[in-house]
Amino acid sequence: MTWLYICVVAFMVGGLIVASERWHGAFTGDSDLNKPQASHSRATPRVGGLAVLAGSLAGLLVLGPSNMTLTWLWPALFVSALPVFVAGLLEDITKDIGSGKRLMAAFLSAAIAWWLLGGVTRVGIAPVDFILAYWPISLLFTMVAVGGCTHALNIVDGMNGLAGMIATLMAVSIALVAIQVGDMPIFMIAAAVASATLGFLVWNFPFGRVFLGDGGAYFLGFMLAELAVLLVVRNPSVSPFFALAVLFYPVFETGFSIWRRRFKRGTPVDQPDALHLHQLVFRRLVRVTFSKGRRRSIPALCNALASPYLWVLALIGLVPATIWWDNAWALCASMAVFAAVYIWLYSRLVSWRRPGWLLLPSAIRTD
């Protein structure tokens, strides 16, 4: 019942955001419909992260007193998350907090978490583990790893239900591994985050009444990255490669985007564009279905239909990672398979050689 309670709290806060849009929409609305990454057709509140935060917080306030370890663990996580969440929320409201400042806030959150909870001390490679035994190296590595993963989830936040469901699947994966190794605090926090995100998704998918926003994406990215790190730190039986495998989709998307912009197109790596995989899926697998005949489709629904493609793609890596969480070779193989499928699909879509079997059936068009 606790997980339902968390969902309901997040759902109610999301509903309040939607219902009060007339009063705050001028500040919180994503009204720039012409930016490269925009795929929505109306100004929409982008402070859905408040619903995820409220649901998670409400649930852990209930769960915490019954578990002494959880009582100190989740407040430390939430305190650590504050800098990056606030930076993201300010960007959602003011539209004036650059990506560099938000990345610095992510590094700051990671540093606070390292101080309060510990950081990365092993990656399963002996020479690297020897170096990580020195705290300055561990601190720097943790800041880059956790801060980078935090920033990465924001990269895939481009379609209704995409980042929210991807985050939910990742949180479920972490929760399932945590319960297998008997780490109940990590299980409960991950399950609370997943439940709160599902409550938010009711408003976000499929019609996009409220967006996750930078605040929500950064909060989820940070929580997932920290939970993955803590699961490895607290449980030596969990392979360090699991932390990377469970977060591999946004991490690979970010790395691929940097390579594409810097080396293929010669543009600044922080310059937004419309060439992310989810945008290509939207334009070349989904929108073409609605462009035939008389187009009376709901734009938000058209947007949302791109997300399940990416959910399935993420599961290609997440399912093996959840099963073989203690096997470094299997985890590396799962990441290699994901990367191969990603690159194959991207190369096909970017060159307009879309696989016919991936096109939506024409029966779903509204004429």
Angle between helices 68-94 and 213-234 (to 10 degrees): 150
Q: What angle do CA 303, 304, 310 make, to 5 degrees?
A: 105
C-alpha dihedral, 338 to 339 to 340 to 342, nearest 10°: 80
Contact predicate 81/153, CB 8 Å: no
Per residue of the chain (367 residues), what is the pLDDT tens digit? Answer: 788 999 999 999 999 999 998 888 878 876 655 555 555 556 789 999 999 999 999 998 888 777 767 778 999 999 999 999 999 999 999 988 988 899 999 999 999 999 999 999 888 888 988 999 999 999 999 999 999 999 999 999 889 999 999 999 999 999 999 999 999 999 999 999 999 999 999 999 988 899 999 999 999 999 999 999 999 999 999 999 999 999 999 999 999 999 998 887 778 877 777 889 999 999 888 887 766 544 444 455 778 889 999 999 999 999 999 999 999 999 999 999 999 999 999 999 999 898 888 887 754 554 4
